Amino acid sequence: MSKDQMQVRLARDVATIAETSAAVCAEAGYADSILLCHGCGNVEAPIAGLLVVDEQEEAWALCAECLSAVPLLGAVA
């Protein structure tokens, strides 16, 4: 893999998104909150997927519109 590429995982199932959202919000002290899209911040846009970069231990929650704008190599199932 070249220096300008990174390995990411895409989580799109509802259970994983809900579980991750609850854990992140609880850790931040906002137990009754939900994740917002890291791309657009639209409060009304539901999260369609989580992009996870294991090497950097980071993740981004994205709505469907922002997720579709991410240039991914390979198929998104």
Q: What is the pLDDT of residues 6-39, one digit of tens each?
A: 677 888 888 888 888 888 888 888 877 778 899 9
- Name the more confident of 4 and 62: 62
Q: Where are the alpha helices (DSSP H) in 1-77?
A: 14-27, 64-68
pLDDT of residue 8: 79
CB 52 within 8 A of CB 8: yes
Question: Is pLDDT above 70 for 66?
Answer: yes
Question: Is pLDDT above 90 for 65?
Answer: yes
pLDDT of residue 53: 81
Q: How far apart are CA 51 and CA 47, in angstroms?
A: 11
Question: Is pLDDT above 90 for 60?
Answer: no
